[in-house]
Amino acid sequence: MSSTLCCGGRMQSIPTCGFGKVGWRVSEWATAVGLCRASVYNLLAAGRLRSVKVGAARIILTPPADFLESFEGDDT
């Protein structure tokens, strides 16, 4: 399985694992759920999100949809 990526004006085929996106940078994840970056860091500190450090980047492993589903039926 592969997807196509435009890099420097030329198309490249890159392999994918078939699971879709498995990690998000803090800013990507914040945009996906409609929160500011500070709120995402608060969720990380509280242990509500799984993440790893890759170099200097913090990569969030909890899918945004899974996090939002955890509030299903919650009226707060």
What is the spatial distance between Cα 36 and Cα 30, in angstroms, rounded to a whole number?
A: 6
Other residues' Cβ atoms within 10 Å of the Cβ of residue 58? 18
Nearest to 51 by CA among 31, 29, 36: 29
For residue range 12-60, list pLDDT tens digits in order: 554 455 667 889 999 999 999 999 999 999 999 999 999 999 999 999 9
The pLDDT assigned to 1 comes to 43
Other residues' Cβ atoms within 10 Å of the Cβ of residue 40? 26
Q: Which CATH number is 19-76 given?
A: 1.10.10
What is the spatial distance between Cα 19 and Cα 17, in angstroms, rounded to a whole number?
A: 6
pTM (2 d.p.) = 0.69
Domain boundaries, the chain: 19-76
